[in-house]
Amino acid sequence: MTPSDRAPISAVVVTQDAARHLAAVLSSADLCDERFVLDSGSNDATLDIARSAGARVEHQPFLGYGPQKCRAVELAAHDWILSLDADEVLDDEARAAIRRVDLSDPFTCYELRRRTFIGDREVRYGPWRDDRVLRLFNRRTAAFKPLPVHEEVVAARRPTLLPGAILHYSYATCTDVLARSLRYAPLKAGIMRRKGQRPRAWSLPFRAMAAFTHSFVVRGGWRDGAAGFIVALSRVIDSTLPRAMLLLDEDLPHDRTG
């Protein structure tokens, strides 16, 4: 199938104050027939960058990560969706693979390896090792889970792995890694509350030790040195803080999934 015969693709990006990497993200997605940015109230240069790149821009107050991406997919011009975060850049090999991909079957879907960076340093081991994300799909047969955090695409068929990778410039510093875990904790606690989960205080130190050991030792995070240690600490926060907040009965965000 030649590019001219291929079904059109909408590249979809949700943004809020995403100026840091957005130009590179949109440039890497210029192989798509539409580049669509759904913004939730940026105060930096995000909108200027998006429009200068030729992207279509719409506005939507933030609904939560999953619901926001669902809304962006709904507003896209085409059924085939390439979903990228505002800090994710396709490498050249991935761009070439997407140009060649067969989109004749709406039930097919495609995933890419994701290489995550802290600043300019790639984190190669730990829980981010062998990270794969489903990002090219047909919205008639696949969709994001409308979760407030850690949303993912659910498809009817197992995804095919494409060559190349997404370069994930998610964290400027190690502090950002821990700050994001702290920011997500109340959202995760809200999901747990909705599901009726009942954590036990005595289990928290055991969860902490298990999370750190799995990330730093079992998954080889020690090979990344101090960066691997920070990632392991973030996993401790992810595993324990939402449960502690739930036990303390803190005021938590509402889960918009139901």
**Whole-number Å distance between alpha carbons of 212 and 229:** 8
- 9-171: CATH topology is Spore Coat Polysaccharide Biosynthesis Protein SpsA; Chain A (3.90.550)
Task: Please give the pLDDT value at position 4.
Answer: 56
Structure tokens belonging to residue 108: 């097919």
Task: Please give the pLDDT value at position 255.
Answer: 46
Q: Mean pLDDT by 10-residue block, N- to C-terminus, for the chain (258 residues)?
A: 74 96 97 97 96 97 93 97 97 97 96 96 94 97 89 94 96 95 91 88 95 97 96 96 88 51
Domains in the chain: boundaries: 9-171, 174-247
CB-side exposure of 39: number of CA atoms within 13 Å?
22
Which pTM does this prediction carry? Answer: 0.87
Closest CA to 18 of 51, 38, 45: 45
Task: Please give the pLDDT value at position 257.
Answer: 40
CB atoms within 10 A of CB 217: 12
Task: Please give the pLDDT value at position 253.
Answer: 62
24: phi then psi, degrees, rounded to nearest 5: -70, -40
DSSP notation for 53-99: TT-EEEE-----HHHHHHHHHHHSSSSEEEE--TTEEE-HHHHHHHH
